[in-house]
Structure 1
Amino acid sequence: MTHSAKHRRWLLPIAFMSATGLLLAGCSNGSSDSETGGGDAAADCADYEQYGTFDGDEVEVYATIVDVEADQLQQSWADFEDCTGITVKYNGDQEFETQINVRVEGGSPPDLAIIPQPGLLQRMIDTGKVVDPPQSVEDNVDKWWSESWKTYGSKDGKFYAAPLMASVKGWVWYSPADFTDRGVEPPKTLDELNSLTAELAKDNSSDTYRPWCVGFESGTATGWPGTDWIEDYVLRQQGPEVYDKWVAGEVKFDSDEIRQAFDSVGEIILDPVNVNGGFGDVKTINSTTFQDAGLAILDGNCSLHHQASFYEAQWPEGTKVAEDGDVWAFLLPNEEEGQGDAVTGGGEFVAAFSDSKATQALQTYLSSDLWANNRVKLGGVISANKGLDPNNAQSPIGKEAVRILQDDKTTFRFDASDLMPAAVGSASFWTGIVDWVNGESTDKVLQGIDATWP
């Protein structure tokens, strides 16, 4: 994962005057019909006239994104650079989450920072160094994102940072051929998921096969895939109101609501009849990497693996990911059939530490559907921007994830552990999951996590 242990990682014009002119509010023009491809061919600068022209201005963008994804990110604004005259200086740093604090406190912040967690964004806003975005950015967000996404980029009701990319969690990966051979289908409710698990467990004909393969190992972040399980169940069983109160600390871990999620997940992953296909007993969940865990599906050692959309990149080269392919995925269902999708996920936010006209021009472009379509065409990521053409996603699972994010019936909530205080979300919640898998009682785990809440 290129972001961190847990993260991967427009129809009315916005008019930008020249670098010395005014930024006018509005929305950028749609890109779905544009043939621009993020630098693959000569740019149609008509798409970029709204951002103005500049004479060698430079804007630094600082983020966690490295390697191939960083190359694609830079390609996504290549036409913008050619047409505006702005040079974008990109700085990718895997130590970003530590170094952004150092840079801001030391008086040398970047012009723009792509921040992978709402909690970190809130801490940056608290420094007083994040500058107000131009009205054009807020107008884009109002038009192209849901209210919840705007809320994650705001503090105390004031908007600061536009969303950028997104991920959808809560997928259950499986082999369509395996399901056909076993005469089973993807479940439509959580009860049906339990029934499916029980049906598959009847075929534990070898020492290696189990219905589920699960892996929570991730170096110093071991345990985080287990928090995703809990978060998915809390949202589906209790709804968004309880989920939000849990994130805010108003609903404790040691409450009936959160305990129900732990009990439901435990019925699956703590039962040796159900796990850990191809790897061993329940405790091997903590020693099996999240990257390797799902691969047991291809070996026939398990049938189900719970992991986010980014897991598509873990399948070996040549694996066909499609409904009629080697592997596919269904979204973890709700308690009742017919409800809109309830999904957890992640994403990034673009915060500014400079109010230069060039910075504002780039900030507005990054909040536009023009950028979203240019970037997604390049592959590897998706966005919750409603101006994104789902057909620009480079894989079937990507197209389905975009459809889910754009559906007005979808209930979306950001990954809870990313929203919680760091002492909980990226510490005691993770370690509590590890202890739980190792046999610690649910009571002790939940009370222990609550004890760390600031």
Structure 2
Amino acid sequence: MMRRRTTLLAGCTTLVLALTATACGGDDVSAGGGDKALSGQTVTVAGVWTGSEQANFQKVLDAFSEQTGAKTRFVSTGDNVSTVVGSKIEGGNAPDVVMVPQVGVLQQFAEKGWLKPLSDTTRKSVDANYSTAWKTYGSVDGTLYGLYFKAAHKSTVWYSPDAFSRAGVTPPKTFDELVKAGHTVSDSGLAAFAVAGQDGWTLTDWFENIYLSQAGPEKYDALAAHKLKWTDASVVQALTTLGTVFKDKQLLAGGQKGALNTDFPGSVEKVFGPKPEAGMVYEGDFVAGVAKDQFGRSIGEDADFFPFPPVGEGTAPVVSGGDAAVVLKDGKNSDAGMKLLEYLATPEAAAVWAKAGGFLSPNKKVNLASYGDTVTRATAKSLVAAGDSVRFDMSDQAPAAFGGTKGAGEWKILQDFLRDPSDPARTAAALEDAAAKAYRG
């Protein structure tokens, strides 16, 4: 899915410092094989990706086929991964591998007994090449079921340097400065933000960055686990802050109605397409892939970014996400599917998509030279360097009924909030009601 995925900082240095450490990329490593041992088998892979993401992942699958002889077939699920995969299992047509974009869905699949534990080969690769956080996100009750292949840094705001230059603004350092810069951009003739309100997941990402910065990591973790109710004053405060953007028609391309009719690719087009309507679009590094592949933008030159700025007295947020590959027990070629995961765990597999663009890997051994531009290299280095300090996307950690279902739960409630942001307390109560039902279920 375009969902939950990363490039960084106007001046990557700031983000690198914010994430503290540095990371080093190793040499690309051969996945081995090449003996066509899987000739005659077809591995079916299901995932949310479409467009350029699907096309670039297909290059990875093609490389796997070249080495092993296996054929691959990718099936796009749309956003409702759990529903689609569940129906395929019930119908006797289960895919072999699913690229799961949410921790909550991975946990749900494991609890239903649908997943195979990962092979010793894959586990060894994860132990050697990934931070503990990614192993934790891929595990349920201590068993590793998911391999995080694609990661995202979701605390980035993308902007048109030309729009900023014409408005006479520079990348802001605080949330208040962000709103002020947005009004200045608007005064120059463009809306400040293109908001993809048609895709509810983008709205959860807006909230999470504000909440992590404003409320802090401890409350973020508690809310993610539903150990803190959504009616807590900290949630109402974050919604109030978010509402300062959503209620201001001057800041939104097309106003609330226009935002609700804009999907994620459309939001990128409104900033970097042939007829710009806005100066900024908030989302992860995957914005770069759309801006580059669909609109021919040069990353770092006519499409750039700055880190999502700190709110009030808080620190700058660092929210991540990712897609975990899992193997279904009921897949007709699940053994071959496991071999695909062994390949995906290698730096070589990640390098295929890294060279294509619009991709970050949490694998520490991926050679940074594989990434096609200096901005993405700095982003990838920073993500790896962040280690266990990154906070995973909150809605991705929730049960799918709350955090990952189109037209329901958090996605729908925040769309309603975008439509009418006048009562944050009422929105918080609706979120708590939906969360309580989902977590009980």
TM-score, length-normalised on structure 1? 0.77
For 1:203 and 1:432, how far apart are their aligned partners in 2?
29
Question: Identity rate of aligned residues, in percent?
Answer: 26
Q: 1:68 and 1:267 mapped to 2: Cα distance?
A: 33
Matched, 1:446 2:423: no
Q: 1:50 to 1:66 in 2, by over 3 A?
A: same
Q: Does 1:213 align with 2:193?
A: yes
Taking the aligned partners of 1:99 and 1:287, their CA distance within structure 2 comes to 24
More helix by share: 2
Moved more, 376-385 or 141-150: 376-385
Distance 2:221 2:248 in 1: 30
Counterpart check, 1:347 vs 2:323 = yes
Find out whether 1:437 has 2:414 as its counterpart. no
State the partner residue of 1:362: 340
Measure the CA separation in 1 of the matches of 2:177 and 2:283: 20
My pick for the range that moved more, 311-320 or 242-251, is 311-320
- Conservation of the 8 A alpha-carbon contact between 2:327 and 2:334: no
- Residue in 2 aligned with 1:237? 214
Q: Per the alignment, do residues 449 and 110 of structure 1 end up closer, same or farther by CA in structure 2, a change over 3 Å counting?
A: same
Q: Does 1:248 align with 2:229?
A: no
Does the 8 Å contact 2:146/2:324 carry over to 1?
no
1:131-183 Cα offsets, whole Å, 9 max, x none, are 22222211111222222211221112221121111222232122224434544
1:187 pairs, out of 164, 169, 172, with 172
**Conserved 8 A contact 1:223-1:430:** yes
Three-state SS of the structure 1 residue aligned to 2:352 is helix
How far did residue 418 of structure 1 move? 2.4
Say if 1:173 and 1:327, in contact at 8 Å, map to a contact too: yes
Partner of residue 310, structure 2: 334
Q: Please give the alpha-carbon distance, in whole angstroms, between the structure 2 residues aligned to 1:158 and 1:217.
A: 36
**Contact 2:31 2:346 (8 Å CA) reproduced:** no
Matched, 1:154 2:139: yes
User: Secondary structure of the residue that 1:257 maps to in structure 2?
Assistant: helix
Question: 3-state DSSP class of the match of 1:259?
Answer: helix
CA distance 1:111–1:428, change in 2 (3 Å): closer
Q: 2:94–2:328: 8 Å Cα contact kept in structure 1?
A: no
Moved more, 65-74 or 345-354: 65-74
Seen in structure 2, the aligned counterparts of structure 1 residues 430 and 359 have a Cα distance that, compared at 3 Å, is closer
What are the residue-to-residue correspondences of 1:250-265 with 2, within 5 Å? 250-265=227-242
> What are the residue-to-residue correspondences of 1:191-340 with 2, within 5 Å?
192-198=174-180, 201=183, 205=187, 209-210=190-191, 212-218=192-198, 222-272=199-249, 274-277=250-253, 279=254, 281-297=255-271, 302-315=278-291, 317-322=295-300, 325-335=301-311
The match for 2:409 among 420, 428, 436 is: 428
**Which consecutive residues of structure 1, in runs of 5 or more, have no partner in the other structure?**
10-29, 35-46
- Pair 399,336 (structure 1): closer, same or farther in 2 beyond 3 Å: farther
Higher Rg: 1
Deviates more, 1:358-367 or 1:152-161: 358-367
Q: Deviations over 1:227-261 (max 9, x none)?
A: 11101112222333322221221112211222222
Report the count of equivalent residues.
Answer: 405
- The residue aligned with 1:27 is none
| CA gap 1:276/1:110 in 2 versus in 1, 3 angstroms | closer
Question: 1:13 — aligned with what?
Answer: none
User: SS where residue 452 of structure 1 aligns?
Assistant: helix
Distance 1:270 1:411, change over 3 A: farther
CA distance in 2 between partners of 1:444 and 1:338 (Å): 25
In structure 2, relative to structure 1, the CA distance for the partners of 1:97 and 1:8 (3 Å cut) is farther
Structure 2 CA distance for partners of 1:100 and 1:343, relative to 1, 3 Å: same
| Alpha-carbon distance between aligned partners in 1 of 2:54 and 2:167, rounded to the nearest angstrom | 42
Judging changes above 3 Å, is the alpha-carbon distance between structure 1 residues 327 and 271 closer, same or farther for their aligned structure 2 residues?
Answer: same
Specify the alignment match of 1:42 in structure 2: none
Partners of 1:176 and 1:321 lie apart in 2 by 11
Q: Is the 8 A contact 1:162 1:367 kept in 2?
A: yes
Tell me, yes or no, if the aligned pair for 1:76 and 1:374 is still in contact at 8 Å: yes
- Mapped pair 1:93 → 2:93: no
Question: Counterparts of 1:62 and 1:264 in 2: how far apart (Å)?
Answer: 40
* Pick aligned residue for 1:119 from 101, 104, 120: 104
Cα–Cα, structure 1 residues 337 and 365, in superposed 2: closer, same or farther, change >3 Å?
Answer: farther
Q: 1:203 to 1:336 in 2, by over 3 A?
A: closer
Post-superposition CA distance 1:194-236 (Å, at most 9, x none): 1343255357547x544x2232342xxx433221110111222
Change (3 A) 1:307 1:379: closer
Q: TM-score, normalised by structure 2?
A: 0.79
Q: RMSD between aligned alpha carbons? A: 3.4
AA matched with 1:101: G
Cα distance in 2 between the residues matched to 1:268 and 1:104:
42
**Separation in structure 2 between the aligned mates of residue 300 and residue 93 of structure 1, nearest angstrom:** 30
Deviation at 1:297, TM superposition (A): 4.3
Q: Cα 1:177–1:378, aligned 2, differ >3 Å: closer, same or farther? A: closer
Q: Which of 368, 377, 387 matches 1:399?
A: 377
Q: Which residue of 1 aligns with 2:118?
A: 133
Determine the C-alpha separation between the residues in 2 that align with 1:203 and 1:361: 51
Query: What corresponds to 1:386 in structure 2?
Result: 364
Aligned positions of 1:18-37 closer than 5 A: 32-33=27-28
User: What are structure 2's unaligned runs of at least 5 residues?
Assistant: 7-24
After TM superposition, the structure 1 stretch with the greater mean CA deviation from structure 2, 243-252 or 430-439, is 430-439
Q: Find the counterpart in structure 1 of residue 60 from structure 2.
A: 76
Amino acid at match of 1:437: L
